Amino acid sequence: MRKIIVVPLLILLPFLAISQDSLDALLDQYNNESIPYISVKELSEIQSEVILLDAREINEYNTSHLQNAIYVGYDHFDINTVSNQNVNKKSKIVVYCSLGIRSEDISEKLKKVGYQNVYNLYGGIFEWKNANNKVIDSLGKETDKIHAFSKQWGKWLHKGKKVYTQ
C-alpha cells in the first residue's frame, strides 16, 4: 500500500516543481538572461528617453500597449520593422511582451544585427500594469484592458482587466 502512494508522488514531484510560484523562477525557466533586464521602476523614470518595442502579437498590442511603443510582433518578427523606423543601433531600446519571455528572443535578434543597447522589460506589460502604470489602446486612449495571452500566463496579471481574445 505504501508503494502505491509513494511511487505516484515520486513521479509527480518533478512536475510540481515546474509550477512556478515566483516571476523570478518563471523567467529563469524560460530565459537565459542573455539580455539585461530593466525594471518597471527604472523604465518609468526614463520612458521618454528610450525606444520601446512591443514583441507581442497584433491583437495583444491593439488591446493595449505602452505609450509610444512600436509594434514589432513575435511570430512574424522582421528586423526591417525596426530598421525602417530609423532606430540608431546605439539607441537605448527596451523590448517588452507579456512577461519578458518573447521579448528576450526578439532582443537577441536585435543584438545579433548590431543593436548595442537593448534591454528586456522584467515582467513585461503585466508588471507595468501591476505597478499602476498607464497603458493605451489602439486609439491612443488610456485603458485598463490587458491582453493576458492565456489563462496560464494571465495569473501573473494582478491589476487591470484581463482580455483573452480580440
Say if residues 98 and 91 touch (Cβ distance below 8 Å): no
Hunting for cell 535578434 — which residue is that? 109
Instruction: Indicate which residue of 35, 38, 97, 99 is catalytic.
Output: 97
Q: CB of 129 within 8 A of CB of 157? A: yes
* Nearest-5° Cα angle at 45, 86 to 119: 50
Please write down the HEC assignment for all residues of 103-142: HHHHHHHHHHCCCCEEEEECCHHHHHHHCCCCEECCCCCE
The verdict on whether 5 is a catalytic residue reads no
The Cβ-side half-sphere exposure at 51, using a 13 Å CA radius, reads 22
Q: What are phi and psi of 14, to 5 degrees?
A: -60, -35
- Could you give the CA distance from residue 104 to residue 106 in angstroms, rounded to a whole number? 5
Residues marked active site are found at: 97
